[in-house]
Amino acid sequence: MPKVWFQMVKQPTVISTFAGCGGSSLGYKLAGFHELLAVEWDDNAVETFQLNFPGVPVYHGDIAKLTGAECMRMAGIGPGELDVLDGSPPCQGFSTAGKRRYDDPRNSLFREFARLLKELQSKVFVMENVTGMIKGYMKQAYLTIIAELRACGYRCKGEVLNAMYFNVPQSRERVIIIGVRNDLGIEPSHPKPQGKPITPREAFKTLPPPDNIKRLPEWMKQATRFMDAGNYNHKHIERAFIRVRGKSAGCINTKLLSWDRCSCTLVKSEISSTGIIHPDCERYLTIAEMKRIMSFPDNFEFIGDRKQIVSRLGNSVPPNLMRAITEHVKNEVLLKCQN
């Protein structure tokens, strides 16, 4: 019998900064990556991450205090050995949902990512952020980020991807910046859309009857009568609020889902009596339903009360979106490096 020789393919490695509860990490895991280290400062996020990824070391603290040498020591690697450095620096300073300030100190956290990138010299980096960073006067911040990442020795390309075309039941646009180390001679690129948007009707299929329901207050029930399900336009919701309450406070965080239109973006907070409303029940979405529209598996566990869990979900990168990105990086960059 002839001998069959198998080429051993190394499992690609990743370090995740600003890891949160592990949305990106789960995407990498689904794409076949081995996570060497996660970096996160929030106590509840770290506790949730460790519950779901017990084998991954965590640097629990301020990334500004993490040196490249310590990062490599904890991950067990040397300069240039890491495949992917991943990061989603906090985006509140760029977000169109808040007060957009160019000089918001949170906007500078990308420099901590760039500092580690320069020391680790991973083959590839992936950075995720909100589209607000490329709109209006904030575009100057985006150009600054690209310039600093290129100065670390990388070819960089940014592109807006909508999660709803990557098996995530939610319209969620994000800027994805991919960089490839200059010496590898490979141009960065992004994955193409993988399918049609998934509706709540499809996403919620097979879910058991809900428990721990958060019901609508009476004024919100009245307001929904003036909302069209699936109309996520801010002004449309604002008019309904003003008609019933005489004020628009909280309308930006409120949407009425339609069974047959892809969900709106899940945000990180439910202010007072606001939130995403179930298509035909007088209640807000349950945690189980939110997990589905973020593409988290049903068995992914969260720690804390509803406020904490909504914050973890709203701040996460949808796992299926990151899976698509990282499978593309693996096939278009890392496997080519091995040839």
Mean pLDDT computed over every residue of the chain: 91
Residue 102 has pLDDT above 50, yes or no: no
Same domain (yes/no): 21, 125: yes
Same domain (yes/no): 275, 327: no
Q: Dihedral sign, CA of 178, 84, 338, 326?
A: negative
Same domain (yes/no): 189, 333: yes
Instruction: List the CATH number of the domain containing 264.
Output: 3.90.120
Number of domains in the chain: 2
pLDDT by residue (tens digit) across 263-313? Answer: 999 988 888 888 999 999 899 999 999 999 999 999 999 999 999 999 999
Split at pLDDT 50, 70, 90, the class of 97 is very low
pLDDT by residue (tens digit) across 330-339? Answer: 999 999 987 6
Tell me which of 3-17, 18-32, 99-113, 248-262 is least confident. 99-113
Tell me if 158 is assigned to some domain. Answer: yes
Domain extent at residue 206 = 200-314
- 152 in active site: no
Tell me if 252 is assigned to some domain. Answer: yes
- Look-up: residue for tokens 């202010």? 271
Percent over 90 (pLDDT), the chain: 78
Tell me if 6 is assigned to some domain. Answer: no
Residue 259 or residue 140, greater confidence = 259
Same domain (yes/no): 308, 320: no
Tell me if 4 is assigned to some domain. Answer: no
Tell me if 225 is assigned to some domain. Answer: yes
Tell me if 2 is assigned to some domain. Answer: no
Name the CA radius of gyration of the chain, rounded. Answer: 21
* Rounded CA separation 35/13 (Å): 6
State both tokens at 149: 């990442």
Same domain (yes/no): 140, 279: no
Instruction: List the CATH number of the domain containing 132.
Output: 3.40.50.150
Split at pLDDT 50, 70, 90, the class of 153 is very high
Write down the catalytic residue from 21, 71, 91, 251: 91
pTM of the predicted model, to two decimals? Answer: 0.91
Tell me if 333 is assigned to some domain. Answer: yes
Same domain (yes/no): 161, 205: no
Tell me if 1 is assigned to some domain. Answer: no
Same domain (yes/no): 74, 139: yes
